[in-house]
Chains A and B, each alone.
Chain A
Amino acid sequence: QSALTQPASVSGSPGQSITISCAGTSSDVGRYNFVSWYQQHPGKAPKLMIYDVNNRPSGVSNRFSGSKSGNTASLAISGLQAEDEADYYCSSYTTSSTRVFGGGTKLTVL
């Protein structure tokens, strides 16, 4: 199972909006609505931000939203804040009942 494809880095200024893409295949992202997104600050465990494409867990800001089109999922962050600077990972359920992660995207808030 190959890793999902994410951009290595994205950046934005405070208050702006950014989008991170996550490209998969018809065996994972394109087949199931079981895509999740995680935020990870240095030295910390990942934190769930979005699950099942567009669901936010309790306590996650509504500035974070998820979507999917075909084999590509996306995470959007509006009203960028300094605390959003982190690594972001997508993950998908696959046809073999396994999971696969993306390579990760480093978000820099300028």
Chain B
Amino acid sequence: QVQLVQSGAEVKKPGASVKVSCKASGYTFTSYYLHWVRQAPGQGLEWMGIINPSGGSTTYAQKLRGRVTMTRDTSASTVYMDLSSLRSEDTAMYYCARGGKEMATSLVDYWGQGTLVTVSS
């Protein structure tokens, strides 16, 4: 069965960076795009970006460009989300989620369990 398993909770100081991992299993890793979505406490969902695990190409939300980097390790079926220059507003639950086989689709069918990132001095 399809599973996305994320790394554990993180506590970071303002200005630091955080790297969250998402290990995929149960399907062909390179055949489906992967999204990152975050949710601040009590707030709505915010789309962060998407990565094509096959070639590694990425598209990021304009708001986060320059601070977010998404990468993948095909040998480990794992994608990574690196967010730098952290501020208190980055405190949120971070989710990875499987997209479709094409870039242009709204299909996002499997979600990781979420990783809580807390930014506090």
Contacts and interface: CB of A to CB of B under 8 A. Distances in A.
Co-complex (A, B): yes
Contacts of B103: 97
Interface of A: 1, 3, 32, 34-36, 38, 40, 45-48, 51-53, 57, 89, 91-93, 96-104
Interface of B: 35, 37, 44-47, 49-50, 59-62, 95, 97, 103-109, 111-114
A102 B44 contact: yes
Nearest to A105: B44
B62 A51 contact: no
Given A36-B106, A52-B105, A93-B106, A101 B95 contact: no
Given A45-B95, A46-B111, A98-B47, A91 B106 contact: yes
A45 B59 contact: no
A96 B47 CA distance: 13
B13 to A, nearest CB: 26
Contact of A48 (B46, B50, B95, B108): B108
